[in-house]
Chain A
């Protein structure tokens, strides 16, 4: 009874929001968005594009125009990983003994597959400013590779210390680049390297560098989160 009542109530809320959105004139109908009166128009303007130098405008926004957001967002991931580690900080950990025991083929096949996944993720990270994708998807692929290894081999423990160091270094480098921007150029996270020609690999100034750092950082953080979830207190 409560479920039905709740469902009706919340669906009513949804309908109400939809109705409210409908009769607000300045809210553009779905699909008929003209970019002219939006700030996005400036992003697509030719000389701006060439000034930032990144073909993929979304990456230009994510790391270029709104780089500060991304810094904040990376911190979010950093603090979640830190939090998860903080909650499960045991003296001695050991792998969670799952009921599923992997066989020989799976254990070694997965190592091969991990190599391929690593290459794909590196490609995606480095070509962030040209093709769709970038630091975050690349990082996610690294982490899923690590997850694959965990699942495939129930004794496998990734090098947590290494990931921590990588995470710290990548993060600090990201901020240091920002500070360099402040020192060399006028403002924090400003592009102080020539942005080159749009479409080339070595274009868009500091954006690819930052994206690589982000990729590494995201990969290591999610990997350490995976490790935390798959380990438990060593009942000595």
Chain B
């Protein structure tokens, strides 16, 4: 069920970018998109009986673990999301400095 919610969140992010013309709103919906994606990545590795992949000691075998790899990947994906958003905000700020508005439509010179 969470998987479907993740995909819908992903698609909602896309919708957000599609309709918004404000740079900050675009970045926010970009984040929504990335969050949806990260949740989807985590949902890939989930198992109802699984427990967190932290071993208390070498001996305990036979336990069912959740798939640790997606968690490692999501760690990296989140940080990459942070990187892109930081840069996006920086560009948004320089746009604001140049055009005194965040809205893409009313930038005067057509590009």
Contact = CB atoms under 8 A, between A and B. Distances in A.
Given A57-B55, A58-B75, A2 B83 contact: no
A80 B55 contact: no
Contacts of B54: 55-58, 130-132
Interface stretch (A41-49, A111-119, A148-156): A41-49
A44 B65 contact: yes
A86 to B, nearest CB: 9
A209 interface: no
Most buried by B among A14, A39, A62, A229: A14
A80 B83 contact: yes
Interface string B20-64: 000000000000000000000001111110101111111001001
Contacts of B19: 2-3, 6
Contacts of A228: 90
A168 interface: no
Nearest to A232: B97
Given A6-B15, A83-B87, A228-B90, A39 B45 contact: no
Q: Is chain B's binding surface mostly helix, strand, loop or mixed?
A: helix
A198 interface: yes
Contacts of B55: 49, 55, 57, 198-199
Nearest to A87: B90
A2 B19 CA distance: 8
A40 to B, nearest CB: 5
- Measured as residues with beta carbon below 8 angstroms from the partner, the interface class of chain A is 35 or more
B7 A76 contact: no
Contact of B76 (A34, A73, A83): A73
B12 A57 contact: no
A77 B79 contact: yes
A17 interface: yes
Contacts of A38: 67, 69
Contacts of B50: 33
Nearest to A134: B75
A123 interface: no
Given A44-B68, A62-B75, A14 B11 contact: yes
A70 B44 CA distance: 21
A62 B72 contact: yes
Nearest to A59: B72
A18 to B, nearest CB: 5
Interface in B55-111: 55-58, 61, 64-65, 67-69, 71-73, 75-76, 79-80, 82-84, 86-87, 89-91, 93-94
A225 interface: yes
Nearest to A129: B54
Nearest to B71: A58
15 contacts: A7-B15, A10-B18, A30-B1, A33-B44, A33-B47, A44-B68, A62-B72, A69-B72, A70-B76, A72-B76, A77-B83, A88-B93, A197-B58, A198-B55, A198-B57
The 7 closest A-B pairs by CB, nearest first: A14-B11, A80-B83, A57-B53, A61-B72, A10-B15, A73-B76, A84-B90
Given A60-B68, A62-B75, 16 more contacts: A6-B19, A30-B43, A30-B46, A33-B46, A35-B64, A40-B45, A43-B53, A49-B58, A55-B55, A61-B72, A76-B80, A77-B82, A79-B83, A80-B86, A83-B87, A225-B86
